[in-house]
Amino acid sequence: MPPRDPANPASRTAPLADEEAVIARAANGDRAAFTQLIEHYQSACYGLAWRLLGDPDQAADAAQDAFVHAYDAIAKYRGGLFRSWLLRITANASYDILRRAQRKPTTTLPDAEEGEAELPDRSAADPEAEAGRSELYRYLDAALRRLPEDQRTAVVLCDVYGMDYGEVADATESALGTVKSRIHRGRLRLRELMADHRELFLNERRLDR
Amino acid sequence: MTMPNLPHPDDERLAAYAGGDVDAIADPSLVAHLSACDRCRPLVNELSLLRGALAELPDVAPSRPLRLVPPVPAPAAAPVGWLRRLTAPAMATGAALVLVGAIGVGATSGIGGLFGQAASGIFANVGDNLQGAGAPESEATPSDNAYVPGVKGSPAPSPSETRGASVDSSSPSQPPTARFSPEPAPGGSDPTEYANRDSSDEQPWLTLLIAGAGIFVTATALRFTISPRAG
């Protein structure tokens, strides 16, 4: 199955230089090679789990569950973007935890406090632009947390992590039409939630162009 | 230029368009509307920019160190699993031995005799008849029961049945004396010897039965004490 090719932005973990070789060694049972891959992508996995679950401990649990699943499945890995493959596994592990916690009536997450501190530091070529961007990311993550859970899950998987509708439907065990509707409504709601920071957001984007 | 007379598409449709949904971007009426509508075009533009920003959200460093090395399977798992897999055939073997032993005992002593002996055994002196060390009482009773107090030399009906069985078998019927133990028990209690004689026919079958029961019980106990997870 040829994976989609979500443009991997500079803010995300880039593939290892010799990734294919490392994957091949890991698939042959080389535990050190597997650990190297997981270590490289742990922030990607944790970030996804944290955005889906909102809780740092649950996110860490989900990421570690995903690593175990990945270890069991890596012999069956058939090419494509390893990052996307690992993120799909992480999405499933996170959704399992989310579903177990669904007894609770909470539909939105508490306002983010950890998220601000958890954004990794990046050396900034343009400190001002970098600060603006960091602020934008902070507001975006805060807005995502205020989405209803089903919309948040769908938007995070589709718009933040580049999964297609089918992949989101698989990960959330939902019908394709339901997923589309959640994504579209989630985008509209997110726009409303970002209304107070629109200028920053639009300016940031213009800066990039 | 606004288009006051034309109904705006549903906002979800616009959000689909902003996300590059194939159905939406290939919809000529939607495309035509967007090219002309000053309300919808900026909305789509904003949604597109929002989506672009979402796609750039950075990875997040874990709040605590994650366990990166997958757990190594417990080394004890293989042999224990191997042992556990042996329990089912062992249980079957034990059960088969019990069955064969029981049939053998039944054939040598006679089922009716068994019960008859059990009844008379209540009055028997169990203490002088423990020839099978460690044998359960139930197995000891048939031989016990051969002894009917006060009736020396003419034991209960069961010995006669036993003799009948001996005649049927290929081994020649031997006089009872031939099977008397060389050293009579203290007090010269003949009935004990009669009992010994009877049990000597049943002995192999009893041994089989006891061994089978032992194997069955041991295998069953093993099966339920070894964790299935280990296999």
pLDDT band at A8 (very low <50, low <70, confident <90, very high): low
Side-chain-side CA neighbours of A173 within 13 Å: the count stands at 7
Whether residue A11 and residue B46 make contact (CB cut-off 8 A), yes or no, is no
| pLDDT score of B120 more than 80 | no
| Tens of pLDDT, residues A155-192 | 999 999 999 999 999 999 999 999 999 999 999 999 99
Amino acid residing at B1: M
As a whole number of angstroms, the distance between CA B72 and CA B86 comes to 25
| pLDDT score of B182 more than 90 | no
Whether residue B62 and residue A201 make contact (CB cut-off 8 A), yes or no, is no
| pLDDT score of A86 more than 70 | yes
What does the pLDDT average to over B173-179?
A: 44
Whether residue A137 and residue B21 make contact (CB cut-off 8 A), yes or no, is no
| pLDDT score of B72 more than 90 | no
The per-residue pLDDT of chain A, averaged, comes to 84
**A198 close contact with B: CB closer than 8 A:** yes
Q: What's the pLDDT score for residue A125? A: 57
What does the pLDDT average to over B209-224?
A: 89
Residues of B in contact with A180 (CB under 8 A): 16, 21
As a whole number of angstroms, the distance between CA B185 and CA B181 comes to 9
Interface residue ranges in chain B relative to chain A, Cβ cutoff 8 Å: 11-13, 15-16, 18-19, 21, 43, 46-47, 49-64, 66-71
Amino acid residing at A95: Y
The residue that leads in pLDDT, B22 or A206, is B22
Q: What's the pLDDT score for residue A100? A: 87
CB–CB of B216/B99 below 8 Å? no
| pLDDT score of A1 more than 70 | no
Q: Which residue has the tokens 């079958």?
A: B205
| Domain map (residue ranges) of chain B | 11-54, 78-230
What does the pLDDT average to over A95-124?
A: 59
DSSP string, B77-146: HHHHHHHHHHHHHHHHHHHHHHHHHHHHHHHHH-HHHHHHHHHHHTTS-GGGG--STT--HHHHHHHHHT
Residues of A in contact with B49 (CB under 8 A): 201-202, 205
Q: Is the dihedral of CA B147, B153, B154, B158 positive or negative?
A: positive
CB–CB of A161/A146 below 8 Å? no
B180 to B175, B199, B200: CA distances (angstroms): 10, 12, 11
The per-residue pLDDT of chain B, averaged, comes to 69
A120 to A8, B21, B70: CA distances (angstroms): 17, 32, 25
Whether residue A194 and residue B50 make contact (CB cut-off 8 A), yes or no, is yes
Chain A, window 125-154: residues with a beta carbon less than 8 angstroms from a chain B beta carbon: 136-137, 140-141
Tokens of A161: 């992590």
Maximum Cα interatomic distance, chain A, rounded to a whole number of Å: 52
What does the pLDDT average to over B66-82?
A: 66
Whether residue A114 and residue B63 make contact (CB cut-off 8 A), yes or no, is yes
Q: What's the pLDDT score for residue A101? A: 82
Q: If we measure between CA atoms, which residue out of A144, A134, A139, A133 comes closest to residue A190?
A: A144
Amino acid residing at A24: A
Q: What is the pTM of this model?
A: 0.59
| pLDDT score of A98 more than 80 | yes
Whether residue B62 and residue A140 make contact (CB cut-off 8 A), yes or no, is no
Q: Is the ipTM of this complex over 0.90?
A: no
Q: Which residue has the tokens 């049927």?
A: B168
Q: Which of A195-204, B63-72, B123-132 has the lowest mean pLDDT?
A: B123-132
| pLDDT score of A145 more than 80 | yes
Where are the strands (E) in A42-136, listed by range? none
Share of chain A above pLDDT 90, in %: 67
Whether residue B18 and residue A187 make contact (CB cut-off 8 A), yes or no, is yes
pLDDT band at B107 (very low <50, low <70, confident <90, very high): confident
Tokens of A95: 């959704």
Q: What's the pLDDT score for residue B83? A: 76
| pLDDT score of A204 more than 70 | no
What does the pLDDT average to over A66-92?
A: 93
Residues of B in contact with A50 (CB under 8 A): 60
| pLDDT score of A3 more than 60 | no
- A-B interface: how many C-beta pairs under 8 angstroms? 132
pLDDT band at B202 (very low <50, low <70, confident <90, very high): confident
B12, B66, B69, best to mutate vs chain A, most A CBs in 10 Å:
B66
- B47, B55, B64 ranked by CB distance to A191: nearest: B47
As a whole number of angstroms, the distance between CA B197 and CA B162 comes to 10
- A11, A64, A119 ranked by CB distance to B66: nearest: A64
CB–CB of A183/A158 below 8 Å? yes
Whether residue B62 and residue A42 make contact (CB cut-off 8 A), yes or no, is yes
CB atoms within 10 A of CB A124: 12
Domains and CATH numbers, chain A: 18-104 (1.10.1740.10), 109-209 (1.10.10.10)
CB–CB of A74/A26 below 8 Å? yes
Q: Which residue of A has its CA nearest to B72?
A: A31
Q: What's the pLDDT score for residue B5? A: 57
